Amino acid sequence: MIKVTVDQHSGFCWGVVRTIDIAEEELKESPELYSLGPVIHNPKEIARLRDKGLETVGHDDLARLAGKRVLIRAHGEPPSTYAAARAHGVTIVDATCPVVTRVQERIRKFHEQGFQVVIFGKKDHAEVIGLLGQTDNEAVVVRNVAEAEQVDPSRRTVLFSQTTMDKETFYAVADVLRTRIGELVVGTFEESAIDFHAKDTICGQVSGRDGKLREFARANDVMVFVAGKDSSNGKVLHGICREANPNTHFVEDERELQPGWFEGVSTAGVTGATSTPQWLMENVRKAIETMQEHTVITK
Which residues are catalytically annotated?
127
Q: Do the Cβ atoms of 12 and 231 come closer than 8 Å?
A: no
Report the chain's terminal Cα–Cα distance, integer Å.
17
Cα 23 to Cα 11: distance, rounded to the nearest angstrom: 18
Q: What is the CA radius of gyration of the chain?
A: 22
Q: What is the dihedral of CA 110, 59, 74, 228, to 10 degrees?
A: -120
Cα 190 to Cα 160: distance, rounded to the nearest angstrom: 29
Q: Do the Cβ atoms of 160 and 103 come closer than 8 Å?
A: yes
Q: Do the Cβ atoms of 298 and 6 come closer than 8 Å?
A: yes
